[in-house]
Amino acid sequence: MSVFDRFLAASLPITPRFVIGRVAQRYIAGETVDDAVRTIRALNAKGATCTVDVLGEFIEDLSEAKATARDYSAMLDAIERESLKCNISVKLTALGLLLDEEVCTSLVRDLVVRAAPLDDGFVRVDMEDSPVTDSTLALVRRLRGEGHPVGAVLQAYLFRTLDDAIALAAEGIPVRLCKGIYNESETIAYKDREEIRDSYRQSLRALLEGESAVGIATHDEVLVADALALIEELSPDPSRVEFQMLLGVREWMRDELIAKGHRVRIYVPFGANWYGYSTRRLKENPQIAGHVFRALLGFK
């Protein structure tokens, strides 16, 4: 990362909203259900399925959780109406996990019941930071126990993840495996890039050796190549494996995987609360902010 990009990353908190908005266009489908439908339709036409995330993470009362659930419900109506190849990804804290676990469980259950009859009838429960890892996995297990089509996410940067992968694989619970996006303590998480990759490889092997569906969520070329080799070695049923990528990130990789016949799902965030999501994406990859700032200032 250049000194300029590093400076941009540090100055994100004081960056004008319109600048963030300009950069965000690439990573966010827009503010409305119609915006999301347009983006998903275009991705479906390219051969990718999608999973849609209604943005809205930090809530203070349950009315906001219920409003988010209504937004998801409207999205599910649109998925059905427009025959989109798309499921939904939810964040439990946006649905009230930290306010009232029972209300949260019941909101997620209602969404899964609504989603289940659709062609791609499945709800993915995103994984957030470590204080909610146990409660998130517990909620997924509880709804699976009731027979609902839900799945979990594991983060390779956590020391615990290989054990979780082995357990979830044995239980037949679908898992999306990613590196992890939150800033966790070194007492519970790997910080070194190669250690995170090793954890990812081992956890992926455990998942692919099991029976459940696996979402390989990474844009890391090294890990994608390793995953392809592992798929070759283990020959899992192709219907239980898919690559997953974020909207706007490494689209050439998406196109290459699709062209080679792999299943690819794109994570499509949309909603009025795009600002928090965007600043997190930019902190993760400030080079992209750098390109836009340079363009705005007329630099090459």
Active-site residue 53, yes or no?
no
Three-state SS sequence of 214-249: EEEECCCHHHHHHHHHHHHHHCCCHHHEEEEEECCC
| β-strand partners of 268 | 52
219 binds ligand FAD per the rule CB under 6 A: yes
CA 57/CA 94 separation, integer angstroms: 5
**Candidate list 43, 118, 204, 288; residue touching ligand FAD; CB under 6 A:** 288
> x/- contact string, 11-50, with ligand FAD (CB under 6 A)?
----------------------------------------
The candidate with the shortest Cα–Cα distance to 242, out of 256, 225, 255, 227, is: 227
Residue among 210 and 269 whose Cβ is closer to ligand FAD = 269
184 binds ligand FAD per the rule CB under 6 A: no
**Candidate list 77, 134, 209, 284; residue touching ligand FAD; CB under 6 A:** 284
CA 55/CA 273 separation, integer angstroms: 5
What one-character DSSP code corresponds to residue 158? B
End-to-end CA distance of the chain: 17
Q: Token match 């459940």: residue?
A: 212
> x/- contact string, 113-152, with ligand FAD (CB under 6 A)?
-------------xx-------------------------
57 binds ligand FAD per the rule CB under 6 A: no
For ligand FAD (CB under 6 A), the number of binding residues is 24
Active-site residue 176, yes or no?
yes
Q: How far is CA 29 from CA 13, 252, 298, in A?
A: 23, 19, 27
Residue span binding ligand FAD (CB under 6 A) among the ranges 9-17, 131-139, 225-233, 242-250? 242-250
The candidate with the shortest Cα–Cα distance to 180, out of 199, 208, 205, is: 199
Residue among 91 and 148 whose Cβ is closer to ligand FAD = 91
Residue span binding ligand FAD (CB under 6 A) among the ranges 100-108, 166-174, 232-240, 244-252? 244-252
The candidate with the shortest Cα–Cα distance to 128, out of 162, 172, 96, 171, is: 96
Helices within the chain (DSSP H only): 3-10, 17-24, 33-45, 62-81, 101-115, 133-145, 161-171, 193-209, 221-234, 251-259, 274-284, 286-297
Residue span binding ligand FAD (CB under 6 A) among the ranges 12-20, 67-75, 101-109, 172-180? 172-180
CA 163/CA 165 separation, integer angstroms: 5
**Candidate list 245, 268, 289, 292; residue touching ligand FAD; CB under 6 A:** 245
In the complex, the smallest distance separating the C-beta of residue 223 from ligand FAD, rounded to whole angstroms, is 6
Contacts to ligand FAD by CB under 6 A: 126-127, 153, 155, 176, 178-182, 217-220, 244-246, 249-250, 267, 281, 284-285, 288
Which of the residues are catalytic?
Answer: 126, 176
